[in-house]
Amino acid sequence: MKKYILLLAMVAGMLATASAQTYVTRNGQISFYSKTSLEDIKATNKQVFAAIDLSKKTVAFSLLMRGFLFDKQLMQDHFNENYVESDKFPKATFNGSFTGAVENKPGKYPVQIEGKLTLHGVTQPVTIPAVLEVQSGSLSGTASFSVKPADYKIEIPSVVKDKIAQQITVQVSIAGTPLK
Amino acid sequence: MKRKKQLIIAGAVLCLLAAAWGFYLYNKPRSGVNALQADTSITADSLYSHFAGNEQQANQLFGNKVVEVSGVVALVQPGQQGASVILAAKNDMGGGINCSLASGQQADNLLVGQPVKIKGRCTGYLMDVNLVDAVFVNRK
């Protein structure tokens, strides 16, 4: 009986730790940049849903493509209608896990995230170097990586080819709070 | 000869006008929703239940449309580039209407439980139903 109670206490303890180590946000930020000699293009999505589980070392992102906002209306319309086809493929998702030690105490921890990015209906493996920062009661993360539109079957018409970079830089910035 | 010259000048002026119009359209800033009339006026509960019930159908009804939503503030999240206000909606998942405020919209004095009416462009459904470029229509 004592053994059983001890086991229950251990499982309850583990569950408590696991839930305390899952951080979520529904207002993470992902921006992308395209730099060419002809034009710089930038768009930002401030409603990224992200979950990071420190105990399982997993990372998941989900965002709505129409949530990317551009400075110029025409660019935003072309992005949604012609390039990423937001009506047909409304979401982009990322699921992965990270390697690198992240302690449950305040500090900055560099990690390597490996996972699968689904964009425009195409799933590709990606590796993302990131920095996780544990603060008291929150976890923030920043990352930067490159995406090739061609890898996701995003066709850029030849007339604007010189204005859009072959490699798009993606920057991620999230600040999660513990899942309650 | 004079007529030919006139035609050339008229053609050149037309080309210039077309180029100027193209340049204007190309550089036109993103239009917010401030000057636009809402396509739909709806409560936060009803909007959320449309998406939770049938996301595809709700996307056809509200996706990329200007929606005016009435509800009560559940959460205010300040951000470096504009705050987000989450309106409460009836559900077990903790979801709501996530309104990303347009620049210039203040959320500083907003209180949890305060009734508001917010207009924004609906981008779809994740954990919340998301609105972008959101502006306050009414703050009681």
pLDDT band at A9 (very low <50, low <70, confident <90, very high): low
Q: Kindly list the residues of chain A whose beta carbon comes within 8 Å of any beta carbon in chain B.
A: 26-27, 29, 44, 46-47, 49, 62-64, 66-67, 69-74, 76, 80, 87, 90-91
Do residue B60 and residue B19 come from a single domain? no
Whether residue B125 sits in one domain with residue B86: yes
B104 and B82 in one domain? yes
Nearest to B61 by CA among B47, B77, B73, B71: B47
Residue B122 lies in a domain: yes
Confidence of residue A12 (pLDDT cuts 50, 70, 90): very low
Which class would CATH give A2-8+21-178? mainly beta
Q: If you average pLDDT over every residue of chain A, what do you get?
A: 88
Q: What is the ipTM of this complex?
A: 0.87
B8 and B68 in a single domain? The answer is no
Burial class (CB in 10 A: 0-12, 13-18, 19+), B116: buried
pLDDT digits (tens, 9 = 90+) for A64-108: 999 999 999 999 999 999 999 999 999 999 999 999 999 888 999
Residue B119 sits in a domain whose CATH number is: 2.40.50.140
Q: In chain B, what percentage of residues exceed pLDDT 90?
A: 68
Domains: count for chain B = 2
Per this entry, what is the length of chain B? 140
Residue A161 scores a pLDDT above 80: no
A68–chain B nearest CA distance, Å? 9
Q: Residue B109 has what pLDDT?
A: 87
Shared domain for B50 and B71, answered yes or no, is yes
**B28-37: average pLDDT:** 88
Rounded average pLDDT over A49-66: 95
* pTM tops 0.80: yes
Spell out which chain B residues touch chain A, with contact meaning CB-CB distance below 8 angstroms: 25-31, 59, 63-64, 77, 79, 81-82, 84, 86, 98, 100, 123-128, 130, 132-133
State whether residue B109 is helix, strand or coil: coil
- The predicted pLDDT at position A96 comes to 97
- A46 closest CB neighbour out of B28, B64, B81: B81
Domain identity same for B24 and B58: no
User: Distances in Å between the alpha carbon of A141 and those of A51, A112, B41, B128?
Assistant: 11, 12, 37, 22
Q: What pLDDT is stored for residue A20 in this prediction?
A: 57
Q: Which of B25, B28, B132 sits opposite A67 (nearest CB)?
A: B132
Fill in the DSSP letter of residue A72.
B
- Strands B96-101 and B129-139 come out as parallel
Lowest-confidence pick of A13-22, B33-42, B86-95, B105-114: A13-22
Q: Considering only alpha carbons, which residue of chain A is nearest residue B120?
A: A67
Residue A169 in contact with residue A146, Cβ under 8 Å? yes
Give the closest-approach CA distance of A2 to chain B in angstroms: 37
Q: Is the pLDDT reported for residue A61 higher than 80?
A: yes
> Is residue A14 pLDDT above 80, yes or no?
no
Asked whether residue B71 is assigned to any structural domain, the reply reads yes
> Is the same domain home to B45 and B112?
yes
Which domain range does residue B129 map to?
40-139
pLDDT at B62 over 70: yes
Q: Is residue B19 part of a domain?
A: yes
> Which residue in A has a C-alpha nearest to residue B55's C-alpha?
A90
Give the domain ranges of chain A. Answer: 2-8+21-178
User: Across the interface, which of B64, B79, B123 has its CB nearest the CB of A27?
Assistant: B79
Q: Find which of A3-17, A35-49, A106-120 is predicted with most confidence, using mean pLDDT.
A: A106-120
Q: Identify whether B6 is part of a domain.
A: yes
